[in-house]
Amino acid sequence: MSPFNLETCARPNILALVPYRCARDDYKDDGTNVLLDANENAYGPSVAPLAQTTDPSASESAAPLLSQADFLGLHRYPDPHQAPLKQSLCELRNTHHHTKRTLGPENLFVGVGSDEAIDAVLRAFCVPGKDRILTCPPTYGMYSVSAQVNDVSIVKVPLLPAPTFALDVDAVLAALSDEANSIKVAYLCSPGNPTGSRLAKEDVTRVLSHPTWNGIVVLDEAYVDFSPEGSSLAEWVLEWPNLIVMQTLSKAFGMAGIRLGAAFAAPPVAQLLNNIKAPYNVSSPTAALAERAVSGEGLATMRANVESLNAQRDRLVRELPGIPGVGRLRGGLESNFLLYEMVNAQGEPDNEVALGVYERLAEKRGVVVRFRGKEHGCLGCLRITVGTEDEVSRLLEQLRGALEEVRGA
């Protein structure tokens, strides 16, 4: 019999890993649920012809899509450099709001969602078992998951209290100054998840300007296209060699299914990330669909969808406070989700109430949101993704009923 023992063979940090979980780990989509849990774009992809081509017999309308995605070339490995896609992404972010210089393909790493970039940065800059990263909770959970996979410890500097959830710059600078921390990477989320608040450019500047710290600032802008024009700092990597700006097509572009993320950086940093990726990490269909999403037609569709989602977001802000049991808005308005307190009979934010509402909505009422009450500064909070007009109407109706059940119990 083999002497194999998983407990002693596998790396201890992997055995101890708590994987990233989403609401759909608990509640699967049965085709009838309203899914307001994962911050997807409820209006669909920015590739309009794809969304409209639903008739399998419509060969003429389907043929252009097949050509665009280059399905007939799948016997060949994909382009390992994705130069046309990178150029289109650069053109999108060359707004010159933050610099007169111009981004080029040499400033980009593209990969399997932002998650590949998060992991690549860790592998490029952090020595396992020695170096650390800095995060500012509440924040995106994959920073800590990737850190543990790579055997990298975390220094946590919480954001300032709600509703601003601003960066505690003095505390961050102090943590970076402490050589005992051995921090190599600071992951900052803007707009934040689950906060929905954008970090002040002045605060990010202070971190980038640290006089002694030799490390990388990663600014995660997954939701930036829901913010005002010019909010993205992607082109700012041309001014700061220690800045990486991550983005994704999963949110505003409605392309979560193709898993395409990008990291903008100074050319030497971008080259480093490209050197350690798998040779063909982005498939040909993914690259083709991504190029279409950031084309003129795709951008027009994306912006129209964002306008619709922002209108429904404003509607939620108007109508949610009128439901008994809904407390304060605890985050910002610069994403496609909202962070709201659920309160008890005494008007206090209450995790028991919030968790009860979350479970009743999903199990009995067909609406899936996210319970965030265990995260720093989010007591009693649910994170609610903005949906279509019909989905928002259903949410409002079912939330009222769920709160009545929980608070009356």
Q: Is residue 33 packed enough to be buried (19+ CB in 10 Å), middle (13-18) or exposed (0-12)? A: middle
Q: Measure Cα distances from 185 to 117, 123, 138, 365 in Å.
A: 13, 11, 17, 42
pLDDT tens sequence across 146-165: 999 999 999 999 999 999 99
Mean pLDDT value across residues 83-97 = 95
Any idea of the CA torsion for 182, 186, 187, 191, to the nearest 10 degrees?
Answer: 150
Query: What residue type is 46 in one-letter code?
Result: S
Residue 359 confidence (pLDDT) above 90: yes
CA atoms within 13 A on the CB side of 135: 21
**Distance in angstroms between the alpha carbons of the first and the last residue of the chain:** 56
Q: What pLDDT is recorded for position 6?
A: 59
pLDDT tens sequence across 381-393: 999 999 999 999 9
DSSP strand pairing (216-220 vs 183-189): parallel
What are the backbone angles phi and psi of residue 226, rounded to the nearest 5°?
A: -95, 0
210 CB neighbour count, 10 Å cutoff: 16
What are the backbone angles phi and psi of residue 103, rounded to the nearest 5°?
A: -70, 150
Mean pLDDT value across residues 221-242 = 95
Using alpha carbons only, how large is the chain's radius of gyration in Å?
A: 22
104 CB neighbour count, 10 Å cutoff: 16
| Confidence class for position 276, pLDDT limits 50, 70, 90 | confident
Kindly provide the residue ranges of all beta strands, DSSP E only, lying in 190-226, ordered along the sequence.
216-220
Retrieve residue 36's tokens: 């307001």
Residue 2 confidence (pLDDT) above 60: no
Residue closest to 106 by CA, chosen among 245, 264, 278, 249: 264
Q: What pLDDT is recorded for position 59?
A: 37
Q: What pLDDT is recorded for position 21?
A: 64
Mean pLDDT value across residues 50-75 = 48
Residue closest to 42 by CA, chosen among 245, 226, 194, 260: 226
Which domains occur in the chain, in start order? 10-50+299-408 (3.90.1150.10), 74-298 (3.40.640.10)
CA atoms within 13 A on the CB side of 140: 26
pLDDT tens sequence across 69-85: 455 577 888 888 899 99
Residue 111 confidence (pLDDT) above 90: yes
Any idea of the CA torsion for 122, 187, 253, 263, to the nearest 10 degrees?
Answer: -50
Please state the pTM of the whole predicted model.
Answer: 0.88
Q: What pLDDT is recorded for position 80?
A: 87
The answer to whether 354 touches 381, Cβ cutoff 8 Å, is: yes
Alpha carbon distance 126, 117 (integer Å): 14
Residues 6 or more apart whose Cβ sits within 8 Å of residue 395: 34, 36, 316, 367, 369, 384, 387
- Check residue 349 and report its DSSP letter: B
Residue 4 confidence (pLDDT) above 60: no
Mean pLDDT value across residues 129-139 = 95
